[in-house]
């Protein structure tokens, strides 16, 4: 049961990351690369995206 819940959480996190990549202002090539990284390496790709991924164009600090 725990692995099922963990899998669902990873799936939701990846969907969130994919949505943000697609909606970002990054170039098409960057978007394709990020989508492939997230799909091929779901957990590691999500963590890398959190650290270095393209941003959705929100407020700049």
| Structure tokens, 13 | 């996190």
Report d(CA 58, CA 22) in Å as an integer. Answer: 14
Q: Do 24 and 57 touch, CB atoms closer than 8 A?
A: yes
Q: How far apart are the first and last CA of the chain?
A: 41
pLDDT number for residue 59:
42
Per-residue pLDDT tens digits of the chain, which is 61 residues long: 567 888 899 999 999 999 999 998 888 999 999 999 999 999 999 899 889 877 655 544 3
Domain range summary for the chain, segments of one domain joined by +: 2-52
Report d(CA 33, CA 21) in Å as an integer. Answer: 10
pLDDT number for residue 1:
57
């Amino acid at each position: 049961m725990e692995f099922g819940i963990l899998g669902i959480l990873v799936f939701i996190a990846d969907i969130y990351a994919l949505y943000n990549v697609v909606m970002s202002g990054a170039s098409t090539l960057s978007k394709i690369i990020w989508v492939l990284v997230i799909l091929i390496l779901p957990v590691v790709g999500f963590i890398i995206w959190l650290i270095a991924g393209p941003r959705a164009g929100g407020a700049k600090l």
